[in-house]
Structure 1
Amino acid sequence: MFESWIFFALAATVFQTARFMLQKILATSGLSAGGATFARFFYSAPFVWIAIFLIPDWPALGPTFWPFAIAGGLAQILATVCVVLLFQTRNFAVGITLKKTEVLLTVLVGIVLLGEGVSWAGFGAMVVGVFGVLLLSDPPKVGQAGWRSVLFSRAVVLGLISGVFFGVSAVSYRGATLEVAADPAIRAVFTLACVLLVQVTSLGLWLLVRESGEITRVARDWKRAGWIGLTSLGGSLCWFTAFTLENAGYVFAVGQIEVILSLIASVLIFNEKVTSREGIGIALITLSVVVLIAVT
Structure 2
Amino acid sequence: MELWIPITIGAAFLQNLRSVGQKHLKGVMGSTGATFVRFGFGLPFAALFVAVLHQLFALPLPRLNSGFALWVVVGGLSQIGAQFLLVYLFSFRNFAVGTAYSRTEPAQAALFGLIFLGELASLGAFAAIAITVIGVMLISVAHVPMNWRNLGASVVSRTALIGLASGTLFGIAAVAYRAASLSLGGPTFMMQAATTLLSTITFQTIVMLAWMLWKDRGELTRIRQAWKPSLFVGFVGATASLGWFAAMTLQQAAVVKALAQVEMIFTFAATVFFFRERINRTEIAGCALIVAGILLLVLI
Deviation at 1:266, TM superposition (A): 0.8
Residue in 2 aligned with 1:32? 30
Residue 85 of structure 2 is aligned to residue 82 of structure 1: yes
Aligned mates of 2:235, 2:204 — CA distance in 1 = 16
**Could you tell me whether the CA contact under 8 Å between 2:72 and 2:200 is conserved in 1?**
yes
Q: Verify the 8 A CA contact 1:91 1:140 in the aligned structure 2.
A: no
Task: Determine the C-alpha separation between the residues in 2 that align with 1:51 and 1:11.
Answer: 16
The 5 Å alignment of 1:148-163 reads 154-163=158-167
Distance in 2 between residues matched to 1:200 and 1:217, nearest whole Å:
17
d(CA) in 2 for partners of 1:227, 1:159: 28
The alpha-carbon deviation at position 5 of structure 1 amounts to: 0.3
Post-superposition Cα deviations, 1:123-178, rounded to whole Å, max 9, x if no partner, equal 11111111211222243557xxx948865655333322211111011000000000
How far apart are the structure 1 equivalents of 2:291 and 2:154?
A: 30
In 1, Cα distance between the equivalents of 2:115 and 2:159? 27
> 2:247 matched to 1:247?
no
Deviates more, 1:34-43 or 1:156-165: 156-165
CA distance in 2, matches of 1:151, 1:119: 28
Deviation for aligned residue 1:30: 4.5
* Correspondence for 2:4: 5
Equivalent residue for 2:228?
223
Query: Is structure 2 residue 170 aligned with structure 1 residue 166?
Result: yes
- Give the match's secondary structure for 1:179: helix
Whether contact under 8 Å (1:184, 1:244) holds in the other structure is: yes
Change (3 A) 1:18 1:105: same
Please provide the CA RMSD for this pair.
2.1
Contact conserved, 2:86 with 2:99, CA < 8 A, in 1?
yes
Contact 2:28 2:226 in 1 (8 A): no
Three-state SS of the structure 1 residue aligned to 2:274 is helix
1:103 corresponds in structure 2 to 106
- Contact 1:95 / 1:159 at 8 angstroms: preserved in 2? yes
Alignment counterpart, residue 49 of structure 1, candidates 31, 47, 50: 47
Match 1:277 to one of 265, 279, 282: 282
* Aligned equivalents of 2:132, 2:86: Cα separation in 1: 21
SS in 1 for 2:142: coil
| CA distance, structure 2, for counterparts of residue 92 and residue 225 of structure 1 | 26
Q: Which runs of 5+ in 1 are unaligned?
A: none
Q: Percent identity at matched positions?
A: 34
Q: Which amino acid aligns with 1:7?
A: P
| Residue identity opposite 1:169 in structure 2 | A
Structure 2 unaligned residues grouped into runs of 5+: none
Aligned residues: 291
Q: How does 1:261-276 map to 2 (within 5 A)?
A: 261-276=266-281
Contact 1:42–1:200, Cα closer than 8 Å, also in 2: yes
Q: 1:92 aligns with which of 85, 91, 95?
A: 95
Q: Distance in 1 between matches of 2:175 and 2:222?
A: 33
TM-score (norm 2): 0.90
Structure 2 CA distance for aligned equivalents of residues 277 and 35 of structure 1: 35
Matching of residue 207 in structure 1 with residue 205 in structure 2: no
Contact (CA 8 Å) 1:94, 1:140: kept in 2 or not?
no
